[in-house]
Structure 1
Amino acid sequence: MTDRPDWWRCQVPADRPPPWVGREGAVTGSVGKVDAPDIPLRDGLRPLHFFRAAVTDVQVWLNAVHLTVQWSSFDGCHFRQRVRPVLGTDGFAAQGSFGNDPALYRGCTFERVRFRAMGGFSLGHARFEGCTFVNCRWEGHVADAADLLDNTFVGRMNGCVWVGRSRSDRYPGGRRNLIRGNDFTATELTDNVAWRLDFPLADQHWPKGFTPLVDDHPDLG
């Protein structure tokens, strides 16, 4: 990862990487996991770690895993999850973040992924460019710090919050998320979807006859 854009440099990783590094460098082809064998199971889930990895054309199943992504890029990858969540050995649902630290996803597909604050996955501090989200489950998710550029959303969307200005603790001066060109025309949007903190409604594509309403409630949840 030598050609990182300016937005990547919001934080600099430590000089010495943590001991749980699973894979560093280029990863191609189909994989089920990236192992970190010296790390025990977390909450009964299989650890799946990407650290400083450049990943291309990889299919990843997210069943019974705890996902951690830091300083990595993904091109043309396919992330999948079963319709019914697969629990770990201790009964915990698959969970984690696609951007614990900045990460970049280009032309990736996310299929039936459960996005939620508890017992699910988070978009985190990642940038998504030209990605497709197919029949994902959004109940209980807050997109607080993600950049979204020219993505397509397909399926039902309910019970989630989309944020234009991040209030994450790692941005003490505030940060405007880059959000434009996203296609919601194939999305069934319920009344329980909130667009908060200057979400740029005019810069997105909406279903015919749908008028998104700005929700200025100060709380994100």
Structure 2
Amino acid sequence: MTLLQRMEEVERRIVAACERSGRRREDVHVVAVTKYVSLDMTGRVIHAGLKHIGENRWHHAEAKWNEFREEACWHFIGSLQSKKAKDIVGKFDYIHSLDRVSLAEAIEKQAQALDITVRCFIQVNVSGEVSKHGLAPDEVKPFLDKLSQYPHIEPIGLMTMAPYEAEPEETRPVFRSLRQLRNELNETRSIPLQHLSMGMSNDFEVAIEEGASWVRLGSILVGQEGD
């Protein structure tokens, strides 16, 4: 399939998932994950109209960001070391992986120096897998309370990664749990968490049905080199 064909197919599936769950299509946003493709392919993706670009390592993203910085909205979707925050803050519009106080401190320090506010998702390890990063669900509220000390960080939602399942339906409890956690947290927040970043190529339709507002799509959307 060509890039445009993949875009059309993904769009069809997003629309169908929204219809099944009674959601508005405009409430679901796509991050095109370009971490495995070249500078040239990333340009093709952006020029095809996919303006939200996801990368998970600065040394992989640097050339792409330098070339297309003004043409896209940049999302940092990987685990972020505190010492690397200086490379990311000020370049990426969203950080999807805030999960500890030391990282919040590093982001705040850099954002304060640049006089900007950084939009962040709080990463939650809903499935409890040892291999995954993120806060345990019961740690999220005290962490959010702590973030009130960092005025240059704007928590806008929660993010999670579900285990890879051959049958995507099996991921539903993970996505549903994140939505329920977000709703519970919002009962006591003056500024609600509006967004849920969840769902990737294998399970994005289930994630949308459970309330995802951002889905992170790699090969199913951007394809492989030579396509």
The structure that is strand-richer by fraction is 1
Q: TM-score, normalised by structure 1?
A: 0.31
The structure that is helix-richer by fraction is 2
Structure ranking higher on relative contact order (CA contacts 8 Å, 6+ apart):
2
Q: TM-score, normalised by structure 2?
A: 0.30
